[in-house]
Amino acid sequence: MSMATPAEAPLLEVRGVSKTFDGVVRALDEVTITVHQNEIVGVVGENGAGKSTLMKILVGVYAPDKGELYYRGRRVPFPRDPKEAAGRGISIVYQEKGVIPHLQVYQFLLLGHEDKYVKFSSLQIDTMKRVAGEILEELRVDCDIESFMYELPLSTQKMVEIAKAILSIRLEREDTDTTPIIILDEPTAPLAIEERQGLFNDILAMKRNSSFIFVSHIIPEVREFADRVYVLRDGKQVAYHDLTREKVTEEDLFRAIVGRGSSEYLYKPGLEKAVGEEIALTASNLTKNSYYYDISFHLHRGECIGLFGPAGSGKSEIIRTIAGLVGFDKGSLTVKGQTVKADELPHLRLERGIGYFSGETGKELFLNWPIAKNISIVNIGRILLTGRVPVISFSAERKMAERIVKKLRIAAPSVNTDCTSLSGGSKQKVSVGKWLERSPDILLLEDPTIGIDVGAREDIYEVLLEMKKSGASMILVSDDPKEYSILCDTIIFIKGGRMQRVLSPAEFREVTAA
């Protein structure tokens, strides 16, 4: 891949980096990125595209198999640990786990660097506080250095983390004119929607004396704030755009990230007819502060509604609210005419006929259980010996599981095989199989086919469409527009936690193809 070389040598250049795990999984394949003085470089890609691996190589958590690192045009070895990386001027702010809530701000800022403030084996608290105060003042972070981290708003916590990253570079750097390069790993993920803009304004202000690598899968943010953007897919660099010079649409980036154009979207006409008149679920003005606001829709019998929007738009929180995993603050949720309480536990949702199917491995599956038990757990009532006595019939359980395994073509030696030993696609099929057997009135789908191969996907779609035909209503949340085209009758476009437009499949196809 060639690009316009700026006059001066780039601040940092990683050339031809490859990394393989366990000798098989190729996490990174010949990736090259550059970072210039005072810019924000976006690195985008799906989960598992290799973003995190690349960043962990940059801060010395992993060693690359192959590749070269250049600093101001001079070749340097890869760092071996985060401290050495800080010495080279590279530091990272992690997505969520980085904050230590019970430390005071000054303790947190200097965590890991206390050895510089020890006199007679006692910490020099006053010096530490002074250093911490200076950096916060310089970066205009408004907070009391003696408050505990958990007392700060999340966006301020993020700023303190960035300050910590810059400070650790200052404390460890080898030469004094090092420009800090701060890696921001999904920085907005834990933030409420309102806080995100503020964080970016602060980061833009800091661009004067630092460079940022901005790792994200939220396309609008990257397009708005990055100067240049690299797209990774399956460990390879598949696209590069200089946003300061080119006009790049969100759709361009999206196409590069998922590797499909909108023209490939499948659409099976005639699905709308399956939608009945009967209302299965109603959300009215459903609000969870900081996540989503005023969501209202009717879900009809046999209908599939897709909540479509970029990651971080609040769509996942909405579906989790309906599943009973998170509560809501305002509005109401009605299922088959009955109002649902905000803090109701998930098991009551199933009694109301709502099933939840997530593609996230191990979330609803009992991994160390055999297939048969995983299928029967939501269908216990159907495998009892008699209606009255609660005794499980193993033969009924086996027959039920065998039927599902055969129908879904699950590749497993027997129904007594533990789910741990199944492939990702088969695990997902077991999950969907138990719902097929149960046939709930409403099925919630969150990333139902994430991370599985095409064949398994088609099988799962087939089952879902069959369930839909027989009257099940569905709500879908996914990162894959193709899925919306295949499954949905109505698509609600969500952005910034609010409903933007309600689209028919035909309109959706036009919008995403444009």
Partner 1 sequence: MKNPARKNVVPQVLIQTLKTHPVILALIGFVVLFSALYPERFLTPLNFSTILKQFVTLTLFALGPSIVVVTGSLDLSYVGIWMLGGILVWLLMPITGMFSILVIPLLGLVTGFLIGVIQVKAKIPSFILTLSLLVTYWGITATLSGGYPRSVREYAFITASLIPHLPTAFLWSIPIILAAIFVMKRTRIGTYIYAIGSNEEGAQLAGINVDKHKILAFTLSGLFTGVGAVILFPHLGGAAPVELNLNNVVGPLVAIVLGGTPLVGGSGGPQRTILGALTYAVVYRGLLLSLLHPEAVQLLVGLLLIVSIVVGSRGLKGVTIT
Partner 2 sequence: MARPLFSQGWLRRNMTTVGPIVAAIAIIVGFQAVNPFFLSHDGMITLVYAMSYFLIAACGLTFVVMMGSFDFSVVSLLKLAALLCVLYMDKLGFLVIPLALIISTGLGFINGLFVARFNVPSFMATLGVSVVVEGAALYLSKGFLHIIYNETFRSLATTFIAGLPSIFYWAIGIWLISTFIAIYTPFGRRTYAVGGNLIGAGLSGINVERHRIYVFMLSGFLAGLAGVLYMAQLGGGSMLIGADMPIPLFASVVAGGTALTGGVGGPHRTLLGVIIITWIQAGMLMLAIGRDTQMIVFGLIALGMSVATIDRKRIKIIK
Give the binding-site size for partner 1 (rule: CB under 8 A): 22
- HSE toward the beta carbon, residue 432, CA cutoff 13 A: 31
Minimum distance from residue 356 beta carbon to partner 2 (Å): 5
Element (H or E) spanning 206, and its range?
helix 193-206
Binding site partner of 378, from partner 2, partner 1, none, Cβ cut-off 5-8 A by kind: partner 2
8 A C-beta contact, residue 108 and residue 164: yes
Residue 153 engages partner 1 in binding (rule: CB under 8 A): no
User: Strands, E, within 301-426: which ranges?
Assistant: 304-308, 330-335, 338-340, 354-358
Residue 463 binds what, of partner 2, partner 1, none (CB under 5 to 8 Å, by partner type)?
none
Angle at 17 between CA 166 and CA 218, to 5 degrees: 60
144 touching partner 1, by CB under 8 A? yes
Task: Assign residue 282 a region (left: φ > 0; alpha: ψ between -120 and 50; beta: otherwise).
Answer: beta
Q: According to the binding rule CB under 8 A, does residue 102 interact with partner 1?
A: yes
Tokens matching residue 38: 């005072």
363 binds, among partner 1, partner 2, none (CB under 5 to 8 A by kind): partner 2
The interface partner of residue 392, options being partner 1, partner 2, none and the CB cut-off 5 to 8 Å by kind, is partner 2
Which of 118, 205, 348, 513: binder of partner 1 (CB under 8 A)?
Answer: 118
Q: What DSSP assignment string belongs to 100-130?
A: -TTSBHHHHHTTT-GGGGEETTEE-HHHHHH
One of 29, 72, 103, 202 touching partner 1 (CB under 8 A): 103
Tell me which of partner 1, partner 2, none is bound by residue 70, counting a contact when its beta carbon lies within the kind-specific cut-off of 5 to 8 angstroms. Answer: none
* Residues facing 15 on adjacent strands: 68
Sole residue written with tokens 């409420």: 192
Return the residue of 70, 94, 240, 366 that touches partner 1, per CB under 8 A.
94
Written as one letter, the residue type at 4 is A
Backbone angles phi, psi at 33, to 5 degrees: -135, 155
Check residue 175 for interaction with partner 1 (CB under 8 A). no
State in angstroms the smallest separation of the CB of 86 from partner 1. 9
Nearer to partner 2, 132 or 365 (CB): 365
Among 114, 174, 278, 507, interactor with partner 1 by CB under 8 A: 114
Nearer to partner 1 by Cβ, of 123 and 348: the residue is: 123
Q: Which does 81 bind (CB under 5 to 8 A by kind): partner 1, partner 2, none?
A: partner 1
State the minimum distance, in angstroms, from the CB of residue 384 to partner 1.
Answer: 29
Q: How far apart are CA 398 and CA 415, in angstroms?
A: 7
By CB under 8 A, tell whether 98 contacts partner 1: yes
Task: Put residue 38 in one of left, alpha, beta given phi > 0 → left and psi -120 to 50 → alpha.
Answer: left
User: 366-405 mask for partner 1 (x: CB under 8 A)?
Assistant: ----------------------------------------
Whichever of 101 and 261 has its CB closer to partner 1, that residue is: 101
- H helices of 219-277, in order, are 219-225, 250-258
Residue span binding partner 1 (CB under 8 A) among the ranges 71-79, 91-99, 232-240, 483-491: 91-99
Residue of 6, 76, 80, 81 that binds partner 1 (CB under 8 A):
81
Residues in contact with 347: Cβ distance below 8 Å, sequence separation at least 6, in sequence order: none
Q: Quick check: 173 binds partner 1 (CB under 8 A)?
A: no
Handedness of CA 392, 394, 396, 397 (dihedral sign): positive
Which residues of this chain interact with partner 2, rule CB under 8 A? 323-325, 345-348, 350-351, 356, 362-369, 373, 376-378, 380, 384, 390-392, 394
The residue with tokens 């900081």 is 290
Residue 428 interacts with partner 1 (CB under 8 A): yes or no: no
Q: Which is nearer to partner 1, 116 or 501 (CB)?
A: 116
| Helical packing angle, 125-138 and 154-172, nearest 10° | 110
Contact 150, 101 (CB under 8 A): yes
- Give whichever of 25 and 118 is closer to partner 1, judged by the CB atom: 118
Which residues are CB-neighbours of 491 under 8 A, at least 6 positions away? Answer: 305, 306, 308, 484, 502, 503, 504, 505, 507, 508
Amino acid sitting at position 149: M
Which residues, including other chains, have CB under 8 Å from residue 198's CB and lie 6 or more apart?
Answer: 155
The number of beta carbons lying within 10 Å of the beta carbon of residue 462 is 13
Window contacting partner 1 (CB under 8 A); options: 29-37, 40-48, 97-105, 440-448: 97-105
Q: Applying CB under 8 A, does 205 fall inside the site for partner 1?
A: no
Cβ closest to partner 2, residue 74 vs residue 347: 347
Residue with Cβ nearer partner 1 (82 or 433): 82
Q: What percent of the chain is helix, strand and coil (3-state, nearest 5)?
A: 35, 25, 40
Which entry of partner 1, partner 2, none binds 114, CB below 5 to 8 A by partner kind?
Answer: partner 1
CB nearer to partner 2: pick between 259 and 390: 390
Contact segment (CB under 8 A) with partner 1 among 94-102, 313-321, 424-432, 447-455 equals 94-102
- Chain centroid offset of residue 439 CA: 29
The site partner of 170 among partner 1, partner 2, none (C-beta below 5 to 8 Å per kind) is none
Partner interacting with residue 97 (select from partner 1, partner 2, none; CB below 5-8 Å by kind): partner 1
Residues of this chain that bind partner 1 (CB under 8 A): 81-83, 94, 97-103, 107, 111-112, 114-115, 118, 121-123, 125, 144
